[in-house]
Structure formats: structure tokens, C-alpha cells
Structure 1
Amino acid sequence: MDSLVEDYLNDILDRVRDEDDGAVADYIPELAKADATPLALAMCTNQGWIYSVGDDEREFTMQSISKPFAYAAALQDCGVEKVIETVGMEPSGEAFNELSLDGKTHRPVNPMINAGAIAVNQLINGEDSSVDDRVEVIVDYFSRLAGRQLTVDENVTESETGTADRNLALAHMLRSYDVIVDSAEDAVASYTRQCAIRVTVKDLAVMGATLALGGVQPLTGERILEPLVCRQVQAVMASAGMYDGAGKWMASVGIPAKSGVAGGLMGTLPGQLGIATFSPRLDESGNSVRGAKIFRALSEDMGLHLMSAVTRKGSSVRGIRTRGRTTVFRLQGGLDFSGAEEFLTAAENQDITTPRVIIDARRVTESNPVGRRMVKEGLRRIRENGKKVAVVDPNNVLGKRRFEDGTRVATTAAEIDEQ
């Protein structure tokens, strides 16, 4: 059944595959010569299931996507009050590398712009840490979030260091107001290596899911972050993660997200999912063009907008029971992507030995197009395995009772026998 989700994700990629708007980042030599064609998408659910398609094994550097995770590390290690003394939480409405600080406090306005990210980086492992020790702590921390050992791309690090004049100016400005104590050169060196950590979309989806799940890594089960830290990070991502386009992004897409100039884009749906895309061509704000379109499509199809998500409480599978010649799956609550994925997983793991299968949707209160599509496709595949299928759905929450080939889903035992 897993391939059903991946089929859908491939459909999403096909919608944007031929788009060629935007350009790779040209101000970093190593990124300027990058291949612009790779395209990948991954999702990690609250159950730790990873679905990925396209160039999902392709590694790229995190760049600014490292910012929310470094912010989380600083919050976890130093506490919220200490971090707030160093960097604010308000959206800036400015470009990510703008040379500006808060006019009253002289703090960076938020941790998602470069000034704030450099300041946050200096909090990790203590202000007296050497560059090498700090980077080692960050790489180890990010590796725990991803569930595998990550590395730094030294070629990208060297390339960025040679073009880091603006970040050096930011670091000198931070030093002048005692926001950081390290030398500007060391501060930028540490931050640049943080940005050059290599990941795949699968890594980012898992890291995002860890934030979405309140700090529990969905693959290893390790609690890495406290829930309050994850709430804080996602709140700041929602208001400032997409730079000067953050307000429009939240209104139209509604998914807390962070972009990087290598072409990555990572988002979270609290309690449910981590999502990541990779496509190197960027718009004028430095966000992946095709990645943003994929997120919009997912938000619209799956009802992922934070202000309009299907209400869910507990598992969508209330129970599975076998009665004579029939296996009954009882569903409940809101049926969105996550709910449908729970049903598909349960159906895949269930040893169905009966000739008939019934889906009891009487306790399903609401659904969205993707949830309905996934459930009905799952039923079609059960039928293709030789089972007769029926649906108990008096409120019609699953929509039209027809498979894609035109066959009507039976709604009574008599109709099953007639199939």
C-alpha cells in the first residue's frame, strides 16, 4: 500500500517538473555551478513512515534551513529567556541578509535572518567554544535529528567563506553591540559550516517531523527537544521562515516552513508531518520556485493549512474485527492524509483471510479530497487482491462510491454478493 502515497507524490512532482522559472544562487560560486534540474519530495509521518520520490538520495547543503534547528539547539541548551536576550521573535519584513538590528535593543529581530542566525550559532556549546568544537556539537545534534550521521561539505564552506563579506559585516555589527563575543571571523566561520551541512529531502522530512512531534525523533523514538522548544521554533518559522514573503506564505500555504538557497524547503504540520522538497532554482526572495509550488499543491490537496486542517483526535482506525466471512475496518474522526495513511498501514499489516471487506465510516466526521482519494484507492487495491469490498457511509463523507475504473462500491452485503 505504501506505493499509493508515493504515486500521489509523483503526481505532485509531475505537475511542476517542466517549470523552469528562477535561477540557482549565483553569489556563492559552488552553488552557481550546481545542476538546476534535480527535483525531490519527501514526507515523514507521526508514525515514522517516510515517503519519498524523485531525486530523494541527492545530497545538498542545508544553508538557511539550518537556522530553525540551530535555534532549537540554543533554546534547549540555554533556555528561552537567555535566547530571547540575544535575538527577538518578530518578522523583519526585510531580506535575509539585511544589515539591520532592532533600533531599541540592538538585537537581531529574529533567528531566521542571517544576523539572528549568527547570534544564535554563538550560543551553542557556550560563548567560549572554539569553532571546531561548536561545529562538532552542531553536526552531532543535527545527525540525531535526522537519524543518521551528517557531514559538512567543505567545498561549499570554502566557496561561501570567500564571498562572506556581508556576513562579516553583520558579525562586526553584532560585536559592536556586544551581542556576540567571538571574533567576527570565527563567528562567520562557525555559521558558514553550519549552513554547509549536507542532507537529503528524507533527512529534512525526518528533522521537520521531530519538530512537529514535539521533539521526539520518529525513527529512533529519542526525545531530543522539549515540546515548548518545538512550539517556539515552529511559531517563529510561521512568522519569519520565508523572509519578507512570510505573511503571504502563511495566508496562502499555511505551513510553517524554512527555505535554503541551495534549493531545499522544509515544513512542519504540528502533530502530523515533516515535509521537504529540493529544487535549486530560486525566486527573487531566495525560495525554491518549484518547491513552493509543491507546498501549495500539498496544502490545497491535503488540507494542510494550519487554519483549515481536518480535526483529528487519536487514531483514525477505531478497530478491526473479523466476523465469519467478513473483515470490518471501523474508521473514526477526521480523515485527512494522516488518517488515510493510518488506514492504509493497518490494511497492509492486517492478514485479511476473509473473502469480504467492509469499511465502516459511520464515525468519520469529516474528510478532505486526499483522504477520500487514498481510502478509495486502498479499497481498489484490496479488491484487486480478490476481495469483495463494501462501504458503510450513511453521511457520504467518502464522496462518490465509485472506483477510478467506474465500478461502484457495494454498500450492503447483498450488493457484495452480486459483484
Structure 2
Amino acid sequence: MADLQDILYSIYREIQPRIGEGKVADYIPELAKVDPRQFGMAVLTVDGKIYCVGDADVAFSIQSISKVFTLTLALGKIGEGLWKRVGREPSGSAFNSIVQLEHEAGIPRNPFINAGAIAVTDVVMAGHEPREAIGELLRFVRYLADDESVTIDQTIARSETATGFRNFALANFMKSYRNIQHPVDHVLGVYFHQCALSMSCEQLAHAGLFLAARGSNPLTGHSVVSPKRARRINALMLMCGHYDGSGDFAYNVGLPGKSGVGGGILAVAPGIASIAVWSPGLNKVGNSLLGSVALELLAARTGWSIFGD
């Protein structure tokens, strides 16, 4: 295999003429202001080497990628009991669908669609005031990234709160089925703040490294989750991490991944590396258009797909 940095440069050269393609998420006013002409990629291997191209050091709103970290926290709190409240199946519907939620009696299809992530946030809040729950999540992500400079973008959190009517509908609907236990406005306050986590590709690759290394961070020696739990989180990312584009992503890239409407994608090559890519322009199902292309090229040029070369 060619040198990993050379592979990243070759991907960057190939993608450069297309930078700016796709449509930024405009239903969150603050995200609509982001310049789409940006692209960054960072690959952190389990032996601690990092390779970067483009805007890999520029912080962006990770949005739904944060759901991986809240899921990890929730599993740490109540373990397999979580699956009484959230399913583990691909949704096949829009990430904010209320129709599916009604059909399935208030049990969201998986933890990565909005309703599922809101239920997970409700679990994380147990015993906490909203401010404490936000603080716990921020400390956890800083611990995973081994970086105290990770922050929450308050402007984006406010923007989401002001426009999150459908999320309020989803949460109230689950509340009617007793699948939300805290006040809806408290749960959504935490949820909007977790989505407003601001990280660079480099920081995000560090935060996801435990999923590539059987549940432990090989750089710090910290054990985060058991190998079995890391494997199961990866399985959920592969099946459900890209909304109703998850099948396409598995088909083309073949790696567990989680996207966010800020244009970021966290991908995992188990046993090899954690990968973060960011390009704000989205495709029609809400995943980073060029981020998906870059990961497909990376998988093809490294042979990292979990399904083989």
C-alpha cells in the first residue's frame, strides 16, 4: 500500500475541483451561513500516527456524530436495558420522521435517528439537571479526544432551539408513550447542545479512536468500553449511521460511520484507524457529499473495507 499521507494527498487532489458541491443544511440558520468551499480529512491510526489534508484543523458543528458519544454514555449507564426504549434496526425513513414513530408506538427505530437520539439523551440525563448532563457529555468527549479545547457552539445551540419544532414534536410524542421521562424542554436543551459540539477532523478522529481499537484508547491507555460493546456500536454505525443513505454508504465505503448535517463524517476501520472527514455540502439524504466520496476513495486505495478489498 502506498504511504497513507500520499493517499490522502491523492484523494484531496482528485476532490479539489469539486469542493463546494452539495447543499449546506439551511434549516438550521447558523449552519446555513457556513462556507461550503471547505474540505478536511484526518486519519489517526491505532499506533498513534495522524495524517491530515485540507481544513483538518478547522472546527465545525459535529451535529449527529455526537449521537455516537451519547449512545456510549447511555450504554455505560443502563447497559442492554437501553434496547427496551430504542430499537437497533435501520429506519428507511427520514431522520426526523414522526410517521414511523407513531406506527411503532413511541419506540424509535434506532439510536441515530433524531427520535432515538432524543430518547438516548433522556437516559443520559438520569439524576442530572440539564446543565450537569451537558457538562458530563462535554467532559466525556474531551476525555475521548484527550483535548480540553473541545467546546459547544452556543450560537448554534440557540439556533437549533429556536427552529427545532419537529424535534419538540418527536419528544412530546414519545412522552405520550412514556418513553421520555424528563421534561421535554430539558431533554431537548441537552440534545441541542450535544449537537452543537464543535470539533475539528483531528479532534474527532482522536475521539473515535476507541472504536477502532477494541474499546480502548491506545494513545492514553484508557479503557472506554468493552471490546464487545465497541463491536456493537460499530455494527449500529454501519447499519444506521447515515440515515436512509446507510445502505449506500455500506455498499460504497464498507466502514462503520456516522454522519452529521454539519458536513462531518466519523468512520472507523476496526483494528486500523479512526477517520474524520468534513465538507459542509450535503447530498440529497443529508450526508456530506464530498466526505462520502473521499471515504469511498480511501477505502478503495487502502483496502480497509470490512468486507475485504
The answer to whether TM tops 0.5 is yes
Q: Distance in 2 between matches of 1:27 and 1:106?
A: 25
| Paired position in structure 2 for 1:208 | 208
Q: Distance in 2 between matches of 1:218 and 1:161?
A: 37
> Where do residues 20-59 of structure 1 align in structure 2 (5 Å cutoff)?
20-59=20-59
- For 1:289, the equivalent position in structure 2 comes to 289
Aligned 8 A contact 1:58 1:200 in 2: yes
In structure 2, C-alpha distance between the alignment counterparts of 1:271 and 1:76, rounded to whole Å = 22
Q: Which letter maps to 1:78?
A: I
Alpha-carbon distance between aligned partners in 1 of 2:85 and 2:181, rounded to the nearest angstrom? 12
Deviation at residue 249 of structure 1 after TM alignment: 1.5
Matched position secondary structure for 2:11: helix
Residues 10 and 54 of structure 1 are in contact (CA less than 8 Å); yes or no, is this contact kept in structure 2?
Answer: no
Q: Distance in 2 between matches of 1:303 and 1:121?
A: 36
Give the helix-richer structure, 1 or 2. Answer: 2
In the alignment, does 2:7 pair up with 1:8?
yes
Q: CA–CA distance in 1 between the matches of 2:115 and 2:287?
A: 18
Task: Tell me the equivalent position of 1:270.
Answer: 270
Q: TM-score, normalised by structure 2?
A: 0.95
Greater Cα radius of gyration, structure 1 or 2: 1
Aligned twin of 1:402: none
Q: C-alpha distance in 1, partners of 2:104/2:262? A: 34
Aligned partner of residue 230 in structure 1, secondary structure: helix
Partners of 2:136 and 2:143 in 1: how far apart?
11
Cα 1:170/1:105, change in 2 over 3 Å: closer
Q: Secondary structure at the match of 1:277?
A: strand
Query: Which stretches in structure 2 are left out of the alignment for 5+ residues?
Result: none
Letter in 1 for 2:140: Y
Following TM superposition, by how much is the alpha carbon of 1:89 offset from its aligned partner in structure 2, in angstroms?
Answer: 0.2
**SS of structure 2 residue aligned to 1:228:** helix
Matched, 1:236 2:230: no
- TM-score, normalisation: structure 1: 0.71
Q: In structure 1, what is the Cα distance between the partners aligned to 2:94 and 2:283?
A: 13
Within 5 Å, which residues of 2 pair with 1:186-205? Answer: 186-205=186-205
- In structure 1, the gaps of 5 or more residues are 310-419
Contact 1:206 1:218 in 2 (8 A): no
SS in 2 for 1:89: coil
Q: Aligned-pair distance for 1:102?
A: 6.9
C-alpha separation between the residues in 1 aligned to 2:252 and 2:6?
25
In the alignment, is the contact (CA less than 8 A) between 1:125 and 1:134 conserved in 2? yes
> How far apart, in 2, do the equivalents of 1:13 and 1:104 lie?
43
CA deviation map 1:214-234 (0-9, x unaligned): 221132111122222211111
Amino acid at match of 1:90: E
Partner of 2:245: 245
Contact 2:61–2:195 at 8 Å: present in 1 too? yes
Q: Structure 2 counterpart of 1:145, which letter?
A: L
> Does the alignment pair 1:156 with 2:139?
no
Structure 1 CA distance, aligned partners of 2:145 and 2:13?
Answer: 27
Q: How does 1:354-373 map to 2 (within 5 A)?
A: none
Quote the Cα distance in structure 2 between the aligned partners of 1:218 and 1:40: 24
SS of the equivalent of 1:42 reads strand
Aligned residue identity for 1:59: A
Over residues 40-69 of structure 1, what are the superposed CA-to-partner deviations in whole Å (9 max), with x where a residue is unaligned?
A: 110111112111121111001110001112
Aligned to 1:303: 303
Q: Distance in 1 between matches of 2:169 and 2:55?
A: 36
Larger RCO (alpha carbons 8 Å, 6+ apart)? 2
Larger mean Cα displacement after TM superposition, 62-71 or 110-119: 62-71
Paired AA for residue 144 in structure 2: L
Partner in structure 1 of residue 133 of structure 2: 134
Contact 1:90 1:239 in 2 (8 A): yes
**2:101 equivalent in structure 1:** 101
**Which residue is 2:17 aligned to?**
18
Q: SS in structure 2 opposite 1:158?
A: helix
Cα distance in structure 2, aligned partners of 1:224 and 1:255 = 21
AA aligned opposite 1:87: V
Deviation at 1:76, TM superposition (A): 1.7
Q: How far did residue 298 of structure 1 move?
A: 0.7
- Please state which structure has a larger fraction of its residues in strand: 1
Asked if 1:255 is matched to 2:266, the reply is no
The letter of the residue matching 2:70 is A
Deviations along 1:329-350, one digit per CA (max 9) or x if unpaired, are xxxxxxxxxxxxxxxxxxxxxx
Tell me which residue corresponds to 1:413. Answer: none
**Superposed displacement of residue 37, structure 1:** 1.2
SS at match of 1:53: strand
Answer whether contact 2:7 2:301 (CA < 8 A) is retained.
no
2: CA distance between counterparts of 1:163 and 1:229? Answer: 35
Amino acid at match of 2:6: D
> In the TM superposition, what whole-angstrom CA distance separates every residue of 1:204-223 from its partner, at most 9, and x where no partner exists?
11222211112211321111
Q: How many angstroms apart in 2 are the aligned matches of 1:225 and 1:292?
A: 27
In structure 2, how many angstroms separate the alpha carbons of the residues matched to 1:117 and 1:43? 26
Instruction: Give, as a single letter, the amino acid of the residue that structure 1 aligns with 2:167.
Output: N
Two-structure CA RMSD over aligned residues (Å):
1.5
Query: Which residue of 2 is the match for residue 227 of structure 1?
Result: 227
The answer to whether the aligner puts 1:88 opposite 2:84 as a matched pair is: no
SS at match of 2:34: coil
Q: Which residue of 2 aligns with 1:179?
A: 179
Contact 2:240 2:246 in 1 (8 A): yes
Q: What is the alpha-carbon distance in structure 1 between the residues aligned to residue 85 and residue 239 of structure 2?
A: 18
CA deviation vs aligned residue, 1:301-327 (integer Å, no higher than 9, x gap): 111111115xxxxxxxxxxxxxxxxxx
Q: Is the 8 A contact 1:255 1:268 kept in 2?
A: yes
Taking the aligned partners of 2:104 and 2:285, their CA distance within structure 1 comes to 27
